[in-house]
Amino acid sequence: MNTLFSLLLIADGVAIALMVVLPILGIVIGGVAMLFVLKKVSQKKSEQKLDETSKKVDEMLETAEAECKQMKKEALLESKEQDLKRRNEFEQEMKEKRAEQQRVEARLGRQEDMLEKRETEISRKEQSLEAQKNNLARKTEEVDKLQEAVSHQHELMVQELERIAQLTKEEAKKQLTDEILDETRRDCAMTVRNLEQQAKDEADLNAKNIISLAIQRCAADHASETTVSVVPLPNDDMKARLIGREGRNIRAIENATGIELVIDDTPEVVILSGFDPVRREVARLTLEKLITDGRIHPARIEETVEKVTKELDQQIKEAGESAMFEVGIFGLHPEIIKLLGRLKFRTSYGQNVYRHSIEVAQLAGLMAQELGLDVNFAKRAGLLHDIGKAVDHEQEGTHIQIGADLAKKYKENAMIVNAILAHHGDVEPKTIEAILVQAADAISGARPGARRETGSNYVKRLEKLESIAAGFNGVEKSYAIQAGREVRVIVKPEVIDDAKAMFLAKDIAKKIESELEYPGQIKVNVIREFRSVEFAK
């Protein structure tokens, strides 16, 4: 420390000496140079001036020397002050470093104490864990021994149970699984049946309310029609005039109208027979005009048929427009309107298709209104659902497909086309309105007196209904009752249980839907009865 301080003092002395000497040297050098210059320049001056100059130089040197001494003294004092200041700063810095070192040493001491304590605690915990590990290993061995004993005991019990039950483990498991599955299936069937019955009761109640309200608001008259028309005659002599010479008049009428005239012994009537209702109507109107006019010959017949055909075309158009206005829909294609008018002369099971279409449109619209659906869409689909029947005798295919093709041809909405295709269940309905059209069609066709069918078709439908139900396994007898509206199926109780009875009813209903055509709906009633009989002797 002292050495370092001595070196610092020496360096400061050297610096101060340099500071004093250098100005002096500069002054001396300057004086010498000045003398040299003065000597060169003023050689001709007198010695007196030279002496004066020398004196002045001496004075200047003395002054410079005095200043140098003063500066040296001041420099030494300043140097001593700086040395003292630096020594004080150095000592203060050393004190602070020693204090910091003491604090660090104290902190390190405390950390060492804490580490020793932690090491002691860790050692104690390791000893405790080791003891627990040994205890766990001992208990694991005990558990393994107990598990082996239990497993052995379980095997002995299983063997004893197999001996007593005379069943293997797999057979017992299979039997138990089958029993659980049967019980679960029965529970599921009962739950499903209860839920379905609850939903069905609520749906039936709402549907009955809506349908009854719609039917009450849409009452319609029905009259069965046939494929023949009867034209009254004023007298029997008119028959001969209608036949004409060698039958030329009757042939002219049949050729012009395409309808067969039946003139028999029935007094004062002529029967028109044909499956095309429009042509039959043309023939009827033609005969009435000819009978009223009295002039009956081939030329007059052709003229009258042509005139009646034009008049009937106008009536057909007016009938289509009337149907459109009655239902309350607009924007139909003109050809669609004409086809609607042709339905006035078309019958299905004796029901007039024109009135049936209007009724279906009104019923579908009323039900859609109750359900908050699109009323115009439901009415439009209901009015056009049987449009194919207007030309089904002229084109190949079902009236459903023909109607859908006509709707596509005349730019009807795709949903209208779907409702036409789905109104007999041939395709899945895509809208609720299409389902309403199905229901309205069934309601209109199921009204008392709305339709008729021949006895042979009726009997065939009942026989087909009974044969479908009898074709399922476990069915003992089947009866079609209520004019084919219900089929009662009696099953063998030892083959069909309660759960299977519910599924059997669903399967029979699906098969009836896929194989049988019928108006309305058919109720499938599966009856399972078990009787235990014993005689007391």
The pLDDT score that the predictor gives to residue 415 is 92
Distance of CA 445 to the CA centre of its chain: 36
Q: Tens digits of per-residue pLDDT, 158-202? A: 677 767 766 676 777 777 787 788 778 777 777 777 777 777 767
Where do we find the tokens 């034209």?
231
Domain boundaries along the sequence of the chain: 2-160, 167-217, 228-446, 456-528
Give the closest residue to 389 by CA, choosing from 418, 352, 432: 352
DSSP per residue, 18-46: HHHHHHHHHHHHHHHHHHHHHHHH-TTS-
- Residue 478, H or E segment: strand 475-481
Contacts of 497 (CB under 8 A, 6+ apart): 186, 528
Confidence of residue 37 (pLDDT cuts 50, 70, 90): low
Confidence of residue 146 (pLDDT cuts 50, 70, 90): confident
Q: Tens digits of per-residue pLDDT, 434-478? A: 888 888 888 877 665 555 554 556 677 788 888 888 889 889 888
d(CA 97, CA 151): 77
d(CA 17, CA 59): 23
Please name every residue paired with 487 in a beta bridge, in sequence order, or none if there are none: 480, 524
| Whole-number percent of the chain with pLDDT over 90 | 1
**Which of 63-72, 114-123, 270-279, 396-405 is least confident?**
270-279
Q: Averaged over 249-260, what is the pLDDT? A: 81
**Residue 488: Cβ-neighbour burial (10 angstroms; 0-12, 13-18, 19+):** middle
Topology alike, domains 228-446 and 456-528: no
Q: Which of 2-11, 200-209, 397-406 has the highest mean pLDDT?
A: 397-406
Q: Tens digits of per-residue pLDDT, 417-439? A: 999 998 887 788 889 888 888 88
- Residue 197, H or E segment: helix 169-217
| Whole-number percent of the chain with pLDDT over 70 | 82
CB 384 within 8 A of CB 407: yes
Q: What's the CATH code, domain 456-528?
A: 3.30.300.30
Cβ-based neighbour number of residue 353 at 10 Å:
24
The pLDDT score that the predictor gives to residue 373 is 87
CB 506 within 8 A of CB 469: no
The C-alpha R_g of the chain, in whole angstroms, comes to 63
Where do we find the tokens 């093709």?
405
Comparing 534 with 472, the larger pLDDT belongs to 472
E-strand ranges in 155-293 read 228-232, 260-262, 269-273
Confidence of residue 225 (pLDDT cuts 50, 70, 90): very low
| Alpha-carbon torsion (238, 239, 240, 244), positive or negative | positive
The pLDDT score that the predictor gives to residue 224 is 42
Confidence of residue 39 (pLDDT cuts 50, 70, 90): low
Please name every residue paired with 271 in a beta bridge, in sequence order, or none if there are none: 230, 262
The pLDDT score that the predictor gives to residue 301 is 83
Rounded to the nearest integer, the mean pLDDT of the chain is 79
Q: Tens digits of per-residue pLDDT, 319-367? A: 888 888 888 888 888 898 888 888 888 877 767 888 888 888 988 888 8
Distance of CA 90 to the CA centre of its chain: 87
Q: Tens digits of per-residue pLDDT, 266-312? A: 777 778 777 777 788 888 888 888 888 778 888 888 888 888 888 88
CB 529 within 8 A of CB 488: no
d(CA 403, CA 380): 13
Confidence of residue 69 (pLDDT cuts 50, 70, 90): confident
Where do we find the tokens 């050297």?
14
**Which of 225-229, 483-487, 519-523 is least confident?**
225-229
**Residue 403: Cβ-neighbour burial (10 angstroms; 0-12, 13-18, 19+):** buried
**Which of 65-69, 177-181, 222-226, 297-301 is least confident?**
222-226
Taking the whole predicted model, whether its pTM rises above 0.75 is answered as no
Q: Which of 22-31, 212-221, 510-519 has the highest mean pLDDT?
A: 510-519
Measured between its terminal Cα atoms, the distance across the chain in Å is 141
Contacts of 218 (CB under 8 A, 6+ apart): 359, 362, 363, 366
The pLDDT score that the predictor gives to residue 159 is 73
Strands in 486-491's sheet, in edge-to-edge order, are 475-481, 486-491, 523-528
Q: Which fold has domain 228-446?
A: Hypothetical protein af1432 (1.10.3210)
d(CA 381, CA 461): 29
